[in-house]
Amino acid sequence: MGRKRPVIVVCILASVAVLSGLATLLFMGSGLDLLAGSPVTQADPERQAEAQPTPAPASRGENSTASKAEDADVRVRRLHALRDDPGARSDMQELTVAMVADASAEVRLTAFEVARHLAAKEGGTQLLQLLKSTIRSPHSEVRREALRTCTTHPQFDLIDELLHLASQTTEERFLAVQALAYLDDDRAQMAVLDVARSENVPRSQRMRAVALLTRTQLTAGVLYLQELAKGDDSELRDCALAALSAMQQRYRR
């Protein structure tokens, strides 16, 4: 293990500078739904009352569903209030129980986000302990947000768990690969290169892994980008050229 000296990468990049290019496509879309209603005309109150049908009583199931939605909103608001509570802790029971046992996905995700906010303020190993338990959560929305947090807050102590997840075929696989790209470790970065090279992963994931090679310092990664930049696959070629260009710009700083 260990970091590769940047000078090796710089020398290799210099030899392919003429190939590099960068293309960025931004896709934006928006939609607007307009709802309009007609005004109620003035009429005699008695006639108006006779003309209006008597609303049917809500069924027990409808009342139960509405009640559950209202209860979930109340629980979300209560959890949000903990963000600014000076006595709140990231490992407090209200948050840990909500993340695991609440029936609402929105409540579970809110509990994680509040716990993450508190753990970051507490410092020490609190965030690490939170992520260690949540990247294996039984709930997908919590697992995914925990893995995204491993990208914005890299945790070397989670490398074994991330490598395991990156080797699986679960929906969260690429989130684990992405988190590995941000660890300064040969094993982690080789896992990213393995996905970039693989023809057995979804193409979108492969191309994203190629782009993630810009985060690594592997000589083998730069050589592979060179290979793709000269290849016949136009999509991979363009992605590799963009990655090489980004790496050159970073090393010039």
For the chain, give every domain's residue range. Answer: 6-16+65-252
The architecture CATH gives domain 6-16+65-252: Alpha Horseshoe (1.25)
242 with 211: CB under 8 angstroms?
yes
What is the tens place of the pLDDT at every residue in 124-179?
Answer: 999 999 999 999 999 999 999 999 999 999 999 999 999 999 988 877 899 999 99
What is residue 155's three-state secondary structure?
coil
pLDDT at 69: 60
Higher-confidence residue of 25 and 197: namely: 197
Residue 109 has pLDDT above 80, yes or no: yes
Which of 18-27, 111-120, 223-232 is predicted with the least confidence, judged by mean pLDDT?
18-27
Residue 38 has pLDDT above 90, yes or no: no
Residues 6 or more apart from 179 whose CB is under 8 A from it?
A: 147, 150, 151, 154, 158, 162
